[in-house]
Structure 1
Amino acid sequence: MQAKDVLTDGFGRIEDLVRRAIEGADEAALTRRLDPDANTLAWLAWHIAREQDGQVAPLAGTEQVWTSRGWSQRFALPFDDSAIGYGHTSDEVAQVVAPAELLLGYLADATAASLAYVERLADDDLDVVVDESWDPAVTLGVRLVSILGDAFEHAGQAAYLRGVLDRTAR
């Protein structure tokens, strides 16, 4: 097995995890908060796709699908196109309102772009330094694992949130 096979498996799992967390959820469920400052399902799904798209596209040397495929216009969020959700305030989290189908469509497109990039990689590419501002410097392999780690963390939060919402709706 090559390293890119492991990365392909990782990126491939994110979409399924998020799909299970938000599929079939209505707007009320997608925007409900467990407390006044908690993340919503809609924000979590959007952020997972944005952070993947926003970080992988520059590595791949491509434009983000957020802008190149018209997702920014379809979502019509009140943020700059460069926003990926990092550092969002509670009020900004609340502004992410979108149906599950739109969220999943964007995630599928961002995932496809990530998988296309990973497919081009050779094992030696993962040792290339992509960020020298850290000590030690960050390699491509470390950056891709970091992107996956953040996505898995937020997908777990979405799964937990959906479970709580489903149990409290009974």
Structure 2
Amino acid sequence: MSAANDILLDAYDRVAESVPQLLDGLSTEAAAWRPAPGANSIGWLVWHLTRVLDDHLADVAGDPQVAVSQGFEERLGLDLPSGDTGYGHSSDDVAKVRFDDLGVLAEYHAAVQQQVAGYLARAEHFDRVVDERWDPPVTLSSRLVSVADDMARHIGQAQYVAGLWEQQENG
């Protein structure tokens, strides 16, 4: 394993550690709360960062998405199309992302992270083009850094919303 693999694993692991810390003890009401009209909820942010991680890393690794292969689409029970990652969601779509059991969301994230960590440990050829729909085409290194950046932003947003929720509840 190279230094690049180690660095990527560390970056991805940091979000993986933050997700259960955020969700542990959080009520489903808090997870669905939106601090302003049109804002994203904690549940949506964690689900979205997990879906993007699952979708994008399965694609570059040539692996099946955990959402489908391990039955999480059904277990999460969301009223969304199969394969939806949340990209381009309207306010109404965000409102559909509500969970009866946040434990399933945490399990989904852990399962995705486990698959991703296995891939990141063996990833190579970081200059390989993985998406030609962009100009310039996206390389594996760019995709991996982009996903890490997206996850870090979304977990930070979710933690911020959790702080707003707590402040509102505690007056």
TM-score category of the 2 structures, normalised to the smaller one? over 0.9
TM-score by length of 1: 0.94
| 1:5 aligned partner | 6
Displacement of 1:61: 0.6
Tell me the matched-pair count: 168
How far apart, in 1, do the equivalents of 2:28 and 2:18 lie? 19
The answer to whether the aligner puts 1:21 opposite 2:29 as a matched pair is no
Q: One-letter code of the match for 1:142? A: S
* 2:115 maps to which of 108, 113, 118: 113
Identity %: 38
1:64-79 → structure 2 map (5 Å cutoff): 64-79=65-80
Gaps of 5+ in 2: none
Amino acid aligned to 2:104:
L
Partner of 1:34: 35
Match of 2:150 in 1: 150
Shift of 1:10: 0.9
Answer whether contact 1:46 1:103 (CA < 8 A) is retained: yes
Q: 2:37 matched to 1:51?
A: no
* CA-CA distance at 1:28 after TM superposition: 1.0
Local SS of the residue matching 1:36: coil
After TM superposition, the score normalised by the length of structure 2 is 0.94
CA distance in 2, matches of 1:17, 1:107: 11
Partner of 1:63: 64
Q: Is the 1:18–1:159 contact (alpha carbons within 8 Å) kept by the matching residues of 2?
A: no
Deviation of the 1:68 alpha carbon: 0.2
Residue type at the aligned position of 2:52: E
Cα offset, 1:136, TM superposition: 2.4
Whichever residue aligns with residue 154 of structure 1, its letter is H
SS of residue paired to 2:130: strand
| Distance in 2 of aligned mates of 1:87 and 1:133 | 17
How far the C-alpha of 1:80 sits from its partner, in A, is: 1.5
For the 8 Å contact 1:18–1:158, the answer to whether it is kept is no
**Amino acid paired to 1:12:** D
Structure 1, unpaired ranges of 5+: none
Which digits, 9 at most, give the CA deviation of each residue in 1:128-164, with x for residues without a partner?
Answer: 1112232322110010000111111100000101111
Find the aligned partners of 1:15 and 1:63 in 2 and give their Cα distance.
20
Segment drifting more, 79-88 vs 63-72 = 79-88
CA RMSD between the two structures: 1.2
1:33 offset after TM fit, Å? Answer: 0.9
Task: Please give the alpha-carbon distance, in whole angstroms, between the structure 1 residues aligned to 2:158 and 2:20.
Answer: 10
CA contact (8 A) 1:38 1:90 kept: yes
- The whole-number CA distance in structure 2 between the counterparts of 1:66 and 1:45 is 14
